[in-house]
Structure 1
Amino acid sequence: MNVRMKDVRSVFPIGSVENDCLISKHGDITVAFAVTLPEIFTLNVQFDERVEMGDYRELCEAWTKAIGVLPVHTIVHKQDWFVEEKYVPGGQVANFLDKASERHFNERPFLHHACYLFITKTHADRHNASALQTTLARGRLLPRELGDKRKIDEFLNAIEQFKAILESTRRITLQRLTNEELAGQDADRKAGTAARPGLLERYMSLALRDEVVTLADIEMGEELRVGGKYSKFYTISDVEDLPEQLGTNNRLENLSSENSNVSVGYAAPVSLMLNCNHLYNQYIFVEDRQQIFPQLEQRATQMRSLSNFSTNNEVNSRLIDQFLGYAAETGFSPVRVHYNVQIWTEEKSQLPVLRNMVSSAIAKMGVRPRENSLDAATLFWAGIPGNAADLPREDKFWSFVPQAVCFFNHETNYLDSQSTHGLKLVERLSGKPILVDLSDEPMQKGWVTNRNKFIIGPSGSGKSFFTNHALRSYHTQGSHTVVVDVGHSYQGLCALLGGRYITYSEESPISFNPFFIEGRHNPDVEKREALKVLLQTLWKRSDERQTMAEYTALSAAISGYYEHLAARPDVFPCFDSFYEFMQEEFRTYIAEHKLRDDYFHYDNFMYVLKPFYRGGEYAYLLNSRDNLDLLHERFIVFELDNIKDHPILYPVVTIIIMDTFISKMRKLGGVRKIILIEEAWKAIMKDGMAEYIKYLYKTVRKFFGEAWIVTQEVDDIIGSPIVKESIINNADTKILLDQRKYQNKFRQVMDLLALTVKEKDLCLSLNRDNDPRRKYKEVFISWGGQMAKVYGVEVSLEEYLAFTTEYREKLRLQQKVYENGGSYDVALREYADEIRYN
């Protein structure tokens, strides 16, 4: 039979909230913090010989030092909330694919995490209260005298030192909670208002994120019931239940291999990896060393004197001596500790399932799981913020701080970027969509010094989907993009975005007009240099050296040509008019300056360039009247598959591509510019363009630009000194897709890309433990070796069809586009419905 507990208000332990502190009716003072923890999978663990090192150990040492500055009779109560939620799309969506993405992820379940830290100063009698001495049993008590101001100031000063030590790790931040955040909008009340509930009210209702919180009845029957929520407690409160050895972290076998080691915190099984509504409470009670040691020594003496009556007394005596000896040897003060996991559900039938989940999670830590039914109400009461002193001494066990903090949860979920710019990827654990800023936020945080990116992924690894998805996101946010491709991977995306797709075919040969300048202005220095390089490429073989005299002559020709255009508005700028200028006016210039053939071989120049003039074999190439305004075209794809081996067209086209992007880079101030070079970079490097690429990579960051290189094979990197020495060194963001096929020879890739051991481990974990219920691929991103994460690349069916490189699917989509009058949005919707419902 259920027994309704006392009226909550009559026994509620918190007397007031003042000066951002919780004051209990016993006179306990509590300072509360919201804690931001490192994101999961971002901490590393290393081994130097047989000594464990790394971020987990550093965090545990920081907690140990921080707790060490707190005065005696202080309680550290760390409370981690893990609440089941469903993803709700927010904000404005820009286009059809964004809407499709929001529908795809709508109501996807995930586990929200929030961490709070309560530091309570109490006194000796309260510090070791028994179950019969708690406020729950005794009812309303008058507040005790708070003590003198000097002791309170000492406690608050210790709190500041505590905070400074933890934040010095640069991985943890503590934000002090205010009166309103603790008690609600009306800070004089113990519970929050409906408009703005406080943490106290949220805890008493087990409703961390609900917009409206209603105070719930608390009943105790077969299990604790808070309102309509059935709750159970599982405790770690006996030293006999612990393993012989503790660690700071746990190896994840599903993500690790014989060549790699992916770890999470020791308490991760009962934290982020326990996928249900739960609270993880961690308590450390700082004892008075001067009082405890004599008591323990006296107890050991009593046990030795009684050893004739029981061997257990002799064993316990030796254990106490070992405990005291360890304390004397290390200088660590003994503490009492307690940990518990509280789960809840609105479906009582789910309790057996949850029991198995929690028991299994605790067992993964090497701890014997115990369900606590008798003390459930007492444990719930002690979990009230500021009421940790009500935890009965029967539920605590002795330990030392370094061992105690191993049980702390050290990690949180991936966080959304603070920037408004980025692309949508998904969390590794839950698949929740998050915004990831690849460019600006890493620069602001000092992780990288440039926005350039190097992307490597074998065929089938999801490389095309990632790059298409990233480029579409950047385009939606206002970027200008130039893509150089050799496989039609971006044809669908270009058509979808209404961009310019430039490719070669016999029916429609590729054509440009590098001589045309908007407004018929004189060319700037870089435009002049680009035209000189173009003319040099048309005239000379790649192994022929250009003399300074020839360079000077070409400079004079270009300057004279634009002066000629300024005087003749009727002349259209193109190669034909330039060639005619060379035939007529420049011939006069040669005669006047008496240029000998060994300075500038005019006849040779005119003869070699004649095929590009009117009526010649390549007359179409440089005389276009269509592709004129590439400067303001926001998305351009140069598809070079049909000409990548052509000795004339390919080098000319690559020069024009570079000229196009550099023109954007120089003239579009305040606009993000991206040049992405797919597998075409291999051919570009062979045609004298290496120096151009090197120049681009080193200067693009100064003009709010980004250079992306995409490649497929590791051997491509190793075999190209240009890529090794210039591109990789000037691309701070490394993006790798599935590399498992290289796991046995990954060392050379690791050395080449300057990856850390942690980054190597994460990289080799890609796609090892994907959720079979979702269709996605994982991607590894490293920002300058300062931060590395693994995300999921998951898109809606509509996005998949827009980005697909499967020939049959591309053909079907093109057919749908044709049937719908060229509308990609309608075609994608119809094609997606066709797949879903057939």
Structure 2
Amino acid sequence: MNSVVRQLHEQGTDVVIVDTGNSYEGLCEYLGGKYISYTEECPITMNPFRINRQELNVEKTGFLKNLVLLIWKGSQGTVTKTEDRLIEQVITEYYDTYFNGFDGFTPPQREDLRKSLLIDERNKSGNRAESETELNARIETVIDEIERRRKELKVESLSFNTFYEFSVQRIPDICNENSITGIDISTYRYMMKDFYRGGNHDKTLNENMDSSLFDETFIVFEIDSIKDDPLLFPLVTLIIMDVFLQKMRIKKNRKVLVIEEAWKAIASPLMAEYIKFMYKTARKFWASVGVVTQEIQDIIGSEIVKEAIINNSDVVMLLDQSKFRERFDTIKAILGLTDVDCKKIFTINRLENKEGRSFFREVFIRRGTTSGVYGVEEPHECYMTYTTERAEKEALKLYKAELQCSHKEAIERYCADWDASGINKSLPFAQKVNAAGKVLNLHQPKTKQQ
């Protein structure tokens, strides 16, 4: 994947990666990209509610609805149609109040509300002794009270804080106006309050993301520190996806979003429709989305993955699958692989084709209906850029510190010494560097003849 995204970047593609294991730290540093790690002291923040009037559309409302429902219900929570519609209405009214204000019901709105309340009142028992005039007068009083409460609701600025304040007042009123029961407003308040002013995560949805990110061409969001948090992990993944969608619409060149293991956090029934929407929307803006996994069970064990991800992916890449050979029929069916594809897959790293070549690994790539097995062969400089092996990274840091040079220059000097050492593999050479604790200076550059 490092090789894939490096080549995409070299071809002028903007790359955004959501990672959970520092897999792209070296490449990001080499390319001078932006590496953003989530920490409690410095969380990844954004203000998804802060938009202009032109950005307010069905897509944005849908994203914010998913965001609110994710906080309220959790990634695996069940959402009723009533709850879904309720949050959508609150979001719509929130923005309408901010952009247009509320000066009172229009005559059609008032009449519609009057009819609705009248039907509810007539369906209630104990009101039959009341005259029509008295009933209408009482309903008008109720409408006046609803109108008064709506007028009191103000939205001075756009943020999660103001949405929370608006929603906790407006939801009970909507339920009363429409005789909706079964909405647990107490749980809603409790779950949402964690992201509100003074809560544990009050910065996450209330502080604007660095606007310079839109100009960056290689961005890595490292969220390994929250991968075990059942709420923050999918939430942060979701807001990063929204940042990509914004970038995707604004910039005219090709864009790609790569979601490493973090995609599992959003592969839930709640997020399925949003994932489908993102894939389909990406195609319209010369962008693509890729998910990466090391666990085959993730692919074969989820209908959400099949429907939302696999069915919308035109390119499939598989590494060595030999250990799954006995249970490959399920994978074959889900990925839509042919018998010919499978024969190719089981030749990966199995052929006698290594003689006279540098070290390489093989990968199966299917593009549409065309497939093949390709060798990925990278020079030492690329290997040292991609590596996540601790000993190798420490050795490279030693070169960089002692030579007081750039990351690129440190890699070049390190690899020149590695080549000169006669040691084939990187790890033994890195261990030799670390044991010496200094730059080895094995490679002596040629000097010009006088």
TM-score (norm 2): 0.69
1:735–1:781 Cα contact (<8 Å) kept: yes
- Supply the distance in 1 between the matched residues of 2:413 and 2:157 (Cα, whole angstroms): 46
1:604-645 residue CA offsets vs partner (Å, 9 max, x unmatched): 655543332332211121233453454443222222322122
- Supply the distance in 2 between the matched residues of 1:737 and 1:589 (Cα, whole angstroms): 50
- After TM superposition, list the pairs within 5 Å mapping 1:736-747 onto structure 2: 736-747=318-329
Residue of structure 2 in register with 1:792 after alignment:
375
CA drift at 1:759 = 2.3
Residue of structure 2 in register with 1:762 after alignment:
344
Matched, 1:555 2:92: yes
Residue of structure 1 in register with 2:78 after alignment:
543
Number of residue equivalences = 360
Which consecutive residues of structure 2, in runs of 5 or more, have no partner in the other structure?
102-155, 422-450
The code of the aligned residue for 1:751 comes to A
2:387–2:393 Cα contact (<8 Å) kept: yes
Residue of structure 1 in register with 2:65 after alignment:
532
The verdict on how the C-alpha distance between 1:820 and 1:697 changes in structure 2, with shifts beyond 3 A counting, is farther
- Supply the distance in 2 between the matched residues of 1:827 and 1:820 (Cα, whole angstroms): 7
The code of the aligned residue for 1:476 comes to E
- Structure 2 counterpart of 1:682, from 264, 271, 284: 264
Matched, 1:693 2:244: no
- Structure 2 counterpart of 1:514, from 29, 48, 52: 48
CA drift at 1:747 = 4.0
The verdict on how the C-alpha distance between 1:729 and 1:594 changes in structure 2, with shifts beyond 3 A counting, is closer
The code of the aligned residue for 2:363 comes to V
Residue of structure 1 in register with 2:361 after alignment:
777
1:504–1:642 Cα contact (<8 Å) kept: yes
1:733–1:784 Cα contact (<8 Å) kept: yes
- Supply the distance in 2 between the matched residues of 1:516 and 1:822 (Cα, whole angstroms): 42
- Structure 1 counterpart of 2:291, from 695, 698, 709: 709
CA drift at 1:520 = 8.3
Matched, 1:500 2:49: no
- Supply the distance in 2 between the matched residues of 1:818 and 1:572 (Cα, whole angstroms): 47
RMSD: 3.3
- Supply the distance in 2 between the matched residues of 1:514 and 1:591 (Cα, whole angstroms): 25
Residue of structure 2 in register with 1:611 after alignment:
194
By relative contact order (CA 8 Å, sep 6+), the higher-ranking structure is 2
CA drift at 1:779 = 1.6
CA drift at 1:594 = 7.2
The code of the aligned residue for 2:381 comes to E
Residue of structure 2 in register with 1:409 after alignment:
none
CA drift at 1:588 = 8.7
Matched, 1:575 2:160: yes
**Matched residue SS, 1:689:** helix
2:98–2:157 Cα contact (<8 Å) kept: no
CA drift at 1:763 = 1.7
The code of the aligned residue for 2:42 comes to S
1:393-445 residue CA offsets vs partner (Å, 9 max, x unmatched): xxxxxxxxxxxxxxxxxxxxxxxxxxxxxxxxxxxxxxxxxxxxxxxxxxxxx
- Supply the distance in 1 between the matched residues of 2:297 and 2:187 (Cα, whole angstroms): 42
Which consecutive residues of structure 1, in runs of 5 or more, have no partner in the other structure?
1-466, 565-570
CA drift at 1:795 = 1.0
Bigger shift: residues 800-809 or 624-633: 624-633
- After TM superposition, list the pairs within 5 Å mapping 1:97-116 onto structure 2: none
- Structure having the larger proportion of residues in strand: 1
1:157-198 residue CA offsets vs partner (Å, 9 max, x unmatched): xxxxxxxxxxxxxxxxxxxxxxxxxxxxxxxxxxxxxxxxxx
- Supply the distance in 2 between the matched residues of 1:563 and 1:820 (Cα, whole angstroms): 61
1:630–1:660 Cα contact (<8 Å) kept: no
- Supply the distance in 2 between the matched residues of 1:474 and 1:563 (Cα, whole angstroms): 44
Residue of structure 2 in register with 1:322 after alignment:
none
- After TM superposition, list the pairs within 5 Å mapping 1:801-812 onto structure 2: 801-812=384-395
1:576–1:613 Cα contact (<8 Å) kept: yes
The code of the aligned residue for 2:334 comes to L
1:43-75 residue CA offsets vs partner (Å, 9 max, x unmatched): xxxxxxxxxxxxxxxxxxxxxxxxxxxxxxxxx
The verdict on how the C-alpha distance between 1:740 and 1:648 changes in structure 2, with shifts beyond 3 A counting, is closer
Bigger shift: residues 631-640 or 791-800: 631-640
1:481–1:635 Cα contact (<8 Å) kept: yes
The verdict on how the C-alpha distance between 1:492 and 1:753 changes in structure 2, with shifts beyond 3 A counting, is same
1:207-229 residue CA offsets vs partner (Å, 9 max, x unmatched): xxxxxxxxxxxxxxxxxxxxxxx
- Supply the distance in 1 between the matched residues of 2:398 and 2:164 (Cα, whole angstroms): 44
1:512–1:628 Cα contact (<8 Å) kept: no
- Supply the distance in 2 between the matched residues of 1:538 and 1:652 (Cα, whole angstroms): 8
The verdict on how the C-alpha distance between 1:528 and 1:588 changes in structure 2, with shifts beyond 3 A counting, is closer
The code of the aligned residue for 2:92 comes to S
2:272–2:304 Cα contact (<8 Å) kept: yes
- After TM superposition, list the pairs within 5 Å mapping 1:261-276 onto structure 2: none
The verdict on how the C-alpha distance between 1:609 and 1:749 changes in structure 2, with shifts beyond 3 A counting, is closer
1:766-820 residue CA offsets vs partner (Å, 9 max, x unmatched): 22223244111112222222x2222211111111111112122233334545566
2:316–2:365 Cα contact (<8 Å) kept: yes
- Structure 2 counterpart of 1:721, from 268, 289, 303: 303
- Structure having the larger proportion of residues in helix: 2
The code of the aligned residue for 1:828 comes to I
- Supply the distance in 1 between the matched residues of 2:208 and 2:400 (Cα, whole angstroms): 28
The verdict on how the C-alpha distance between 1:726 and 1:536 changes in structure 2, with shifts beyond 3 A counting, is closer
Bigger shift: residues 600-609 or 632-641: 600-609
1:516–1:628 Cα contact (<8 Å) kept: no
Residue of structure 1 in register with 2:407 after alignment:
824
CA drift at 1:697 = 2.9
- Supply the distance in 1 between the matched residues of 2:385 and 2:188 (Cα, whole angstroms): 47
The code of the aligned residue for 2:358 comes to R
- Supply the distance in 1 between the matched residues of 2:324 and 2:87 (Cα, whole angstroms): 49
CA drift at 1:549 = 3.2
- Supply the distance in 2 between the matched residues of 1:814 and 1:645 (Cα, whole angstroms): 30
Identity of aligned residues (%): 42
Residue of structure 2 in register with 1:478 after alignment:
12
The verdict on how the C-alpha distance between 1:587 and 1:522 changes in structure 2, with shifts beyond 3 A counting, is farther
**Matched residue SS, 1:637:** strand
- After TM superposition, list the pairs within 5 Å mapping 1:115-264 onto structure 2: none
- Supply the distance in 2 between the matched residues of 1:523 and 1:779 (Cα, whole angstroms): 43
2:238–2:266 Cα contact (<8 Å) kept: no
The code of the aligned residue for 1:713 comes to E
- Supply the distance in 2 between the matched residues of 1:549 and 1:598 (Cα, whole angstroms): 10
- Supply the distance in 2 between the matched residues of 1:751 and 1:596 (Cα, whole angstroms): 48
2:195–2:202 Cα contact (<8 Å) kept: yes
**Matched residue SS, 1:828:** helix
- Structure with higher Rg: it is 1
- Supply the distance in 2 between the matched residues of 1:726 and 1:687 (Cα, whole angstroms): 10
CA drift at 1:474 = 0.8
The code of the aligned residue for 1:776 comes to F
The verdict on how the C-alpha distance between 1:632 and 1:575 changes in structure 2, with shifts beyond 3 A counting, is farther
CA drift at 1:653 = 1.0
**Matched residue SS, 2:236:** helix
The verdict on how the C-alpha distance between 1:652 and 1:559 changes in structure 2, with shifts beyond 3 A counting, is farther
